[in-house]
Amino acid sequence: MSNQVIDLLKKLRQAALDKGLRALISYHEEDSYLMRFANSAISLNTNEHLISLDYIAYDGRRRSSYSMIVDPSDLTGMEKGLDILAEMLPHAQPLSYDPTFPVYEKDVVDERSFDPGLAVLTNEERLAYFNTLAAGLESDDVKLSGFFSSGTTTIGQISTANEHTQYFRSSDAQVTAALSSESLKWEVNAEQSAQKKCDLDAEGLHADLALLLKHYHEDEAVQLPTGKYTVVFGPAATAELTNIMAYYGMTGGALMQGYSFLKEEDQGKLVFSEQIHLADDPREVETYAQSADRFGLERKPFPLISEGRFHAFMWDQDSADEFGKTPTGHDVSHGSLVMGGGNKPVATLKDLIELARDEDILYVPYIHYMNVVNPTQGMVTGSSRFGALYLKKDGSVQVPYNVRLTQKFSDFFGERVQWLSEEQVAYNVSSSYGRRDPTALKVPRFICVKEIEISHSNPSY
């Protein structure tokens, strides 16, 4: 597979040279499969195999780009794309800075995140997985919905500077299963990220869903008063918060464009809880990591937060060029964010519910429709919606109606942090729109934070 991609890239490189172009040529191939469920039945079962090319031409401060979906056997059609690229270049608006042209110093072949078993998963196996996770949980009132997305992503890169190439291949799966009451209008769900076939654990999702269903069927539903609560966040909430925080606060581009909640002078300062450790770590294959970025820079573990101290901003090549900084190997379509675990031995939802507690705790597994309210303050908002529980001090459990949280990142990850679980899990944040770009974070299974304010509380589901 890698030889075919590399051979094609070298042919396109020569074609670009023959046309007098100074260009970067990128190859993207996806083999994608999607099984969707609604009303306890398969509503969609589809797959697609797509190959795309991205061309970027450079001429001093001018730069033009052109993308196309291609038939890999149609070299003539691909060369026509280079002709269009060449026609566009003289009309490109010059940049205010000198962009770096990619020059690869060595060949890179990175298939650490590829698992052949996951890559060839069958429809029968996807259906069997959903049948297992939902076994005995559906009824006339409670219906199953969700999706099982899996596939393979292949990326290749070459520039006209030399014949060195970069090649990356990964396999991934993302599962969401939801059970909803048609009469009461509540909904609970469970999710899973997989990088290899053995990561798939339908029994684990079944256990979580069965436990949530038990409480949603048997326990009292309540409208919580607005105010401050001690909250335990699940991996979905933690991963989504971390991902948005890193994007809006920890990139050099965000800093220089004025919308980061962090300042240059914050580097080295205690900004977060001393229990928080966060790094972009390309050694973690569960995050579909790449060993080099688009400009050939070797990606190494890059600490962002160490014992609560903000370490440094991530600089992609273009932002570094524009603002005169040193790139840090972050010219990638997705990072490999890893938040370190803590010392609390809580590995499952059952463990959390059975944990001895000396106060009431609100469990929020997901933050739904999360949006940034004010990026310079690092303030975000979202609602609980799926599967929240109110764990009472006396050992009882209540089911809270939907609540809204509007807080700053420094509230979620600052001095209010009480504990982090030892257990870490991979959580998939891949988008279902656009090209396949498997993205996951590795985060603690649970994080407990005090004094999180509930700004709104619904009177019903």
Report pLDDT for 42: 96
Would you tell me how many other CB atoms lie within 10 Å of the CB of residue 228? 11
Mean pLDDT, the chain, as a whole number? 97
Report pLDDT for 1: 65
Length of the chain: 461
Report the distance separating Cα 394 and Cα 391, nearest Å.
8
C-alpha 233, offset from chain centre: 17
Can you spell out the DSSP letters for 20-84? T--EEEEEEEEEEEEEEEETTEEEEEEEEEEEEEEEEEEETTEEEEEEEE--TT-HHHHHHHHHH
pLDDT band at 445 (very low <50, low <70, confident <90, very high): very high
Would strands 361-364 and 227-233 be described as parallel, antiparallel, or unpaired?
A: parallel
Q: In this predicted model, what pLDDT tens digit does every residue of 258-280 receive, in sequence order? A: 999 999 999 999 999 999 999 99
Two tokens at 107? 């060949």
Q: How many helices (H) and strands (E) does the chain have?
A: 10, 23
In sequence order, the 6+-apart residues with CB closer than 8 A to the CB of 23 are 16, 55, 56, 57, 58, 82, 85, 159, 160
SS3 assignment, position 2: helix
Report pLDDT for 142: 97
For the segment 321-336, the average pLDDT, to the nearest whole number, is: 97
Secondary-structure breakdown of the chain: helix, strand, coil percentages, each rounded to the nearest 5: 25, 35, 40
Query: Distances in Å between the alpha carbon of 457 and those of 184, 226, 362, 377, 400?
Result: 17, 6, 13, 24, 9
pLDDT band at 386 (very low <50, low <70, confident <90, very high): confident
Rg (CA), the chain: 24
Report the distance separating Cα 252 and Cα 254, nearest Å.
5
In sequence order, the 6+-apart residues with CB closer than 8 A to the CB of 418 are 230, 448, 449, 450
Report pLDDT for 267: 97
SS3 assignment, position 225: coil
Q: Which CATH superfamily is domain 2-218 in?
A: PmbA/TldD superfamily (3.30.2290.10)
Domains of the chain, by residue range, sit at 2-218, 221-457
Would you tell me how many other CB atoms lie within 10 Å of the CB of residue 272? 24
Report pLDDT for 433: 85
What angle is formed at CA 358 by the lines to CA 356 and CA 363, rounded to 5 degrees? 70
The pLDDT of residue 409 is above 80: yes
In sequence order, the 6+-apart residues with CB closer than 8 A to the CB of 382 are 367, 368, 369, 370, 371, 404, 405
The pLDDT of residue 343 is above 80: yes
For the segment 223-243, the average pLDDT, to the nearest whole number, is: 97
At 305, the amino acid letter reads I
Cβ-based burial of 370 (10 A; exposed 0-12, middle 13-18, buried ≥19): middle
For the segment 131-144, the average pLDDT, to the nearest whole number, is: 97
pLDDT band at 2 (very low <50, low <70, confident <90, very high): confident
Q: What is the 3-class SS of 309-343, one letter each residue?
A: EECCCECCHHHHHHHCCCCCCCCCCCCCEEECCCC
- Give phi and psi for 190, each to the nearest 5: -145, 145
Find the Cα–Cα–Cα–Cα dihedral 82, 84, 85, 91, rounded to 10°.
160
What angle is formed at CA 188 by the lines to CA 187 and CA 190, rounded to 5 degrees? 145
Enter the pTM of the model. Answer: 0.95
